[in-house]
Amino acid sequence: MNIQILGAATTKFGEHWHKSLRDLIREACLETVKDAGIKNDKIEAVYIGNMLSGILSGQEQLGPMVAEELGLRVPAIRIEAACASGGLAMHEAISSIESGKYETVLVVGAEKMTDRPQEMVAMALMAAGSDAERQSGATFPALYALMARAHMEKYGTTEKQLAAVAVKNHYHASLNGKAHYPFPIKSEQVLASSKIADPLKLLDCSGISDGASAVIITSKLKIKNEKLKIRIIACEVATDTLGLAQRESLTQLKATKIAGQKAYQRAGVRPKDIDVAELHDCFTIAEIIALEDLGFYQKGEAGPQVLKGATKLGAKGLITNTSGGLKACGHPVGATGVKQIVEITKQLRGEGEKKQVEGAKVGLCHNVGGTGATAVVTILTN
Sites of contact with a second copy (CB under 8 A): 20, 22, 51-55, 58-65, 67-68, 72-82, 84, 88, 91-92, 95-96, 98-101, 123-124, 126-128, 131, 134, 237-242, 246, 254-255, 258, 369-370, 373-374
Name the catalytic one among 16, 331, 365, 366: 331
**Strand 374-381 with 230-239, pairing:** antiparallel
83 counts as catalytic: yes
Nearest-approach distance from CB 88 to a second copy, in angstroms: 6
Nearest-approach distance from CB 200 to a second copy, in angstroms: 22
Whichever of 87 and 207 has its CB closer to a second copy, that residue is 87
- The string of DSSP letters for 155-202 reads H---HHHHHHHHHHHHHHHTT-TT-SS-S---HHHHHHSPEEETTEEG
Host H or E run for residue 286: helix 284-293
Name the catalytic one among 29, 83, 205, 235: 83
The answer to whether the CB of 375 falls within 8 A of the CB of 368 is: yes
Nearest-approach distance from CB 351 to a second copy, in angstroms: 30
The CA R_g of the chain, rounded to the nearest whole Å, is 19
Of residues 195, 213, 218, 217, the one with CA closest to residue 205: 195
Whichever of 125 and 319 has its CB closer to a second copy, that residue is 125
Whichever of 1 and 223 has its CB closer to a second copy, that residue is 1
User: What is the sign of the dihedral through the CA atoms of 369, 235, 3 and 278?
Assistant: positive
Nearest-approach distance from CB 148 to a second copy, in angstroms: 22
**Strand 104-111 with 45-49, pairing:** parallel
216 burial via Cβ count (<10 Å: 0-12, 13-18, 19+): buried
Whichever of 91 and 172 has its CB closer to a second copy, that residue is 91
331 counts as catalytic: yes
Whichever of 63 and 86 has its CB closer to a second copy, that residue is 63
CA distances from 103 to 34, 35, 350 (A): 18, 18, 26
Distance from the first to the final alpha carbon of the chain: 14
The residues facing 232 across adjacent strands are: 3, 380
Nearest-approach distance from CB 189 to a second copy, in angstroms: 33
Nearest-approach distance from CB 242 to a second copy, in angstroms: 5
Residues written for the chain? 382
Host H or E run for residue 97: helix 85-98
Cα–Cα distance, 10 to 154 (Å, whole number): 39
Whichever of 92 and 343 has its CB closer to a second copy, that residue is 92
The residues facing 234 across adjacent strands are: 379
Nearest-approach distance from CB 85 to a second copy, in angstroms: 9
Whichever of 36 and 238 has its CB closer to a second copy, that residue is 238
Q: What region, left, alpha or beta, does residue 261 occupy, with left being phi > 0 and alpha being psi -120 to 50 degrees? A: alpha
* Positions marked active-site: 83, 331
